[in-house]
Amino acid sequence: MILDRLHRVLALVLKEFLTILKDPKSRFVVIGPPIIQFFVFGYAATFDVTSVRYAVLDESRTPESRALLARFESSASFDLVATLDTDEQIARSIDAQAVRLVLHVGPTYAENLHAGRPAVVQAILDGRNSNVASIALGYVQAIVQQHSASLGVGSPIEVDPGLSIDLVDRAWYNPNLTSRWYIVSALGGTISMVVVMLLTSLSIAREREQGTFDQLLVSPLTPLEILVGKATPAVVFGLADAALLSAGAVLWFEVPLLGSLAALLLGLFVFVIAVTGVGLFISSLSGTMQQGLLGSFMYIMPSVILSGFTTPLENMPRWLQVLTFVNPLRYVVELLRRVFLEAASLQDVAGLIFPMLAIAAVTLALAAFFFRWRTT
């Protein structure tokens, strides 16, 4: 009896693998997009600000002003694109987004410096991208501070000359605050979710559309067996992708993997099962492939945003935070970051694995229930 069941499920699993691997489109979905997305995210998605385009309006035109501006020119964070002659040009170049920053050195800069009066440098920033503007301003302040210090005590060029507390910062887990570590460590979860959603959301809908699902329903296969047969290939491909991308994070982007490998793999495994449940649930509600695909995209976008993958969950309003509790991606993103960067062990992340197990149980049960219900 049990053997018969296993035999039937095995037949279905084999068939599912065959259909995925024989269809060039499905084959590509499993391998192509994950790798492309991995590199696109790895290189493009970074909060680090480099090569800020800026212009200079130097009304002082003295060796002192040039010494200050030379520090910007030699910085990798800034990229000089224009030298301005008049005030009016400032507004124009910022409006046209030719530059994000204009450094304005007034005509009295050198005089003030020598007279021991505060010498003021004006930084005008494009606030439309507030994130870049505030980071660039931070850099400007740091460079000016360094320059001021190099001139020796008594020649401050500081907005706040009375600063007397010295802040020494040290970032734990990511000492250089490389945002790539933050993004890449979580990619295995995010990208494998997209793959699993595509595979599962189409799998039942495709059979419904092509009429083969009836053929399955009239066979001795029970809904539970169909569920297992349908879920297995998605879990296998999803886990393979997630593991591959995690390896890529370590080997290609050189993100340190400090925590337990077992915690990482178990976490990803449970996560992929939970996402498979969501995908099969969506698919079991869909009558056509188009509905399945639309459903999975309606799920993917919000779940990425509500996962803390790019923006911290703590900044979201309370009610939205509650919503994130049913999002498996939220748990795996945190799990991955903690295992990669915090050296978390299996025990440390157990609290993140159990909620995903619960989500998997509920969604898989719903999917099995709706297999038959939707058949009219």
Partner 1 sequence: MTRLDPEPPEAALAASAPNLLALREVSKSFGPAGRGGTIALRDATLSCRAGEILGLVGPDGAGKTTLVRLAAGLLAPTRGSIVVLGLDSVKDAAEVRGRIGYMPQRFGLYEDLTVRENLRLYADLQGVPPSTRAEREPRLLRMAGLGRFQDRLAGRLSGGMKQKLGLACALVKAPELLLLDEPTVGVDPVSRRELWQIIAELVERDDIGVLLSTSYLDEAERCHRIEVMLRGEIVASGSPASFRERLAQHVFETRPRSQREARRLQAHLLDRDGIADATIRSGRVRLVVPGSGAADVGRAIEGFDTSSAVATSPRFEDAFMCLVSERLAPPPRIDTDAAEPLGTEVVPSRGPESRAGEPRASDATERAAKVRVKGVVKRFGDFVAVRNITFEVGPGEIFGLLGPNGAGKTTMFRMMCGLLPVTSGTIDIAGHDLRRSPSRARARIGYMAQRFSLYGTLGVEENLRFFGRAYGLRGRVLEARLERALASYELLPRRDTPAGELPLGYKQRLAMAAALLHEPEILFLDEPTSGVDPLARREFWRRIGAVAESGVTVVVTTHFMEEAEYCDRMIVMAQGAMMAAGTPEDIRERARSPENPDPSIEDAFIALAESAARESGLRAQRSEADA
Residue ranges in contact with partner 1 by CB under 8 A:
4, 7-8, 10-12, 14-15, 18-19, 22-23, 210-212, 214-222, 372, 375-376
Q: Considering the complex, state which of residue 216 and residue 333 has its C-beta at the smaller distance from partner 1.
A: 216
Rounded (10°) angle between helices 179-210 and 261-285: 40
How far is Cα of residue 108 from the mean position of the Cα atoms in its chain?
47
Task: Report in angstroms how near the CB of residue 26 gets to partner 1 at its nearest.
Answer: 9
First to last CA, the chain: 30
Q: Considering the complex, state which of residue 45 and residue 217 has its C-beta at the smaller distance from partner 1.
A: 217
Task: Report in angstroms how near the CB of residue 210 gets to partner 1 at its nearest.
Answer: 6
Task: Report in angstroms how near the CB of residue 298 gets to partner 1 at its nearest.
Answer: 21
Task: Report in angstroms how near the CB of residue 79 gets to partner 1 at its nearest.
Answer: 52
Task: Report in angstroms how near the CB of residue 198 gets to partner 1 at its nearest.
Answer: 17
CB atoms < 10 A from the CB of 307, how many? 23
Task: Report in angstroms how near the CB of residue 205 gets to partner 1 at its nearest.
Answer: 14
User: CA angle at residue 200 from 196 to 205, to 5 degrees?
Assistant: 155
Q: Considering the complex, state which of residue 54 and residue 213 has its C-beta at the smaller distance from partner 1.
A: 213
Q: Considering the complex, state which of residue 66 and residue 374 has its C-beta at the smaller distance from partner 1.
A: 374
Q: Considering the complex, state which of residue 5 and residue 53 has its C-beta at the smaller distance from partner 1.
A: 5
Tell me the CB-side half-sphere exposure of residue 332, using CA atoms within 13 A: 31
Task: Report in angstroms how near the CB of residue 216 gets to partner 1 at its nearest.
Answer: 7
Q: Considering the complex, state which of residue 69 and residue 368 has its C-beta at the smaller distance from partner 1.
A: 368
Q: Which of 148, 147, 142, 69 is nearest to 116 (CA)?
A: 148
Q: Considering the complex, state which of residue 2 and residue 96 has its C-beta at the smaller distance from partner 1.
A: 2
Q: 56 - beta bridge partners?
A: 83, 103
| Cβ–Cβ under 8 Å, residues 309 and 331 | no
Q: Considering the complex, state which of residue 78 and residue 371 has its C-beta at the smaller distance from partner 1.
A: 371
User: CA angle at residue 208 from 206 to 211, to 5 degrees?
Assistant: 105
Q: Considering the complex, state which of residue 150 and residue 375 has its C-beta at the smaller distance from partner 1.
A: 375
Tell me the CB-side half-sphere exposure of residue 229, using CA atoms within 13 A: 24
**CA dist., res. 193 & res. 77, Å (int):** 35
Provide the strand spans (E) within the chain.
52-58, 78-84, 101-105, 121-125
| Cβ–Cβ under 8 Å, residues 280 and 230 | yes
Task: Report in angstroms how near the CB of residue 294 gets to partner 1 at its nearest.
Answer: 16
Q: Which of 179, 150, 170, 159 is nearest to 50 (CA)?
A: 179
Q: Considering the complex, state which of residue 286 and residue 324 has its C-beta at the smaller distance from partner 1.
A: 286
Task: Report in angstroms how near the CB of residue 227 gets to partner 1 at its nearest.
Answer: 14
Q: What letter would DSSP give residue 252?
A: T
**CA dist., res. 370 & res. 284, Å (int):** 6
Who's near 21: CB < 8 A, 6+ residues apart? Answer: 27
Task: Report in angstroms how near the CB of residue 217 gets to partner 1 at its nearest.
Answer: 6
Q: 79 - beta bridge partners?
A: 53
Structure tokens at 264: 């990482």
Q: Which of 195, 192, 205, 248 is nearest to 43 (CA)?
A: 248
